[in-house]
Amino acid sequence: MSSVAFTNIATLVTNASHGDGTLGVLKGATLVVEDGLIAAITQGRPSGVDNEIDCSGKTLLPGFVDSHSHLIFAGDRAEEFSARSRGEKYTAGGIASTVGATRAASDSDLAHNAQRLLNEALSSGTTTIEIKSGYGLTAADESRSIEIAKSFTDETTLLAAHVIPQEYKQDPDAYVDLIINSIIPQSSAKWVDVFCDQGAFTPEQSEAILRAGIAHGMLPRIHANQLTAGKGVEIAVGLGAASADHLSKSTDADIALLASSNTVATLLPGAEFSTHLESNLGRRFLDAGATVAIASDCNPGSSYTTSMPFCIAAAVSLLGFTVEEAVLAATLGGAKALRRDDIGQLAVGKRANLVLLDSPSYIHLAYRPGVNLVHSTYKSGRAVTSWQK
């Protein structure tokens, strides 16, 4: 066993009850890691550890948990972003261009691009990430997308139901049949997802796809209410989905339903920043008592960012979160959206996935937007600079 002690921590965010306030904050504490797990949280200098890291003037908090990303793709859509800056409305139609580029890319190209983005995420404090397919939209391309994603994370999501591909535009139900009868049965993804919204999949198609995934042993999650209000939240709660994501156009009834359920409301500040769909969105969910996560939604069209600190700042500035609510949503909230109880919180026995900030307070994550404050990122107690599973 190897051990390391983080000592003289100016601010330790635990997300646990043994500290102060919403984030369980401790001042001047020491955190001891043994064999990748948190062994003790104490005051003073420990004895008998192999290594010691002086955290004077720094903040230590749980590594960020990014529970919604689309990293298996090729190309970019910078021109689409520029068009939105000129006032053109986002409709998700540009996904087709990414599908074409992804289908044409080699496995090596897709893996290289994902590695590049994951290294970015790691450098800004992300230690756990979910990766979706959804830019292949054929049986072969969706399968290889998941296999590539599995080389980087255990949190893989089949999103064959992202949009109807061009070749099925005249017969959408035939594509739904392909997903249910061919793509899902051959997939090894942990999760199944569907974009239940205008221009994507109807509620009936969405529920059929999710039920097929559940029957195959997958766990459900859903894209809902991004472009228009619909039945996505109702479907998610009815099927016991871990998370309903986007939620920009949710009704009061949707929010109340989520608040009364075990389904996490995952909000995506990067997408709201890019598409300008809804302001002050988070306040509605938080005030209703829903469990809330925030995630990057990293994708080439509507949220091309890997930075969870940016998403924290955007959640505070645009969506009505307090700093504490945003930090909690980016850590413990994301863990709950993935139904993980070993991460997102610093307590004895939890995995030592940590981010050390070169600032005396977590508040600086929102107070100093655009500045990378991450001193070091640790996975299972080990400092890492290149993403590994």
- Distance in angstroms (rounded) separating the CA atoms of residues 347 and 40: 8
Q: Which residue has the tokens 């903040």?
A: 59
Please check whether residue 164 is in contact with residue 219, taking contact to mean a CB–CB distance below 8 angstroms: no
Closest by alpha carbon to 340, among 114, 15, 123, 10? Answer: 15
388 annotated to bind ligand = no
342 annotated to bind ligand = no
Which residues have C-beta within 8 Å of that of residue 280, sequence separation ≥ 6? 318, 319, 320
What are the two backbone dihedrals, phi and then psi, of residue 245, each rounded to the nearest 5 degrees? Answer: -120, 155
299 annotated to bind ligand = yes
77 annotated to bind ligand = yes
Which residues have C-beta within 8 Å of that of residue 287, sequence separation ≥ 6? none
Token code pair at residue 194: 């569907």
246 annotated to bind ligand = no
DSSP state of 63: P
70 annotated to bind ligand = yes
162 annotated to bind ligand = yes
- Distance in angstroms (rounded) separating the CA atoms of residues 387 and 389: 7
375 annotated to bind ligand = no
Token code pair at residue 176: 């739904």
- Distance in angstroms (rounded) separating the CA atoms of residues 35 and 48: 14
Which residues have C-beta within 8 Å of that of residue 240, sequence separation ≥ 6? 220, 262, 263
Please check whether residue 321 is in contact with residue 31, taking contact to mean a CB–CB distance below 8 angstroms: no
Q: Which residue has the tokens 């599995």?
A: 150
Q: Give the CA count within 13 Å in the CB-facing half-sphere of 20.
A: 7
226 annotated to bind ligand = yes
At residue 214, the 3 state secondary structure works out as helix
Q: Which residue has the tokens 């230690």?
A: 127
DSSP output for 310-359: HHHHHHHHHH---HHHHHHIIIIIHHHHTT-SSSSS-STTSB--EEEESS
112 annotated to bind ligand = no
175 annotated to bind ligand = no
Torsion, Cα of 82, 88, 93, 98 (10° steps): 0
Question: Which residues participate in the annotated binding site for Fe(3+)?
Answer: 68, 70, 223, 297
Question: Which residues participate in the annotated binding site?
Answer: 68, 70, 77, 135, 162, 223, 226, 297, 299, 301-302
Question: Which residues participate in the annotated binding site for Zn(2+)?
Answer: 68, 70, 223, 297
Question: Which residues participate in the annotated binding site for 4-imidazolone-5-propanoate?
Answer: 77, 135, 162, 226, 302
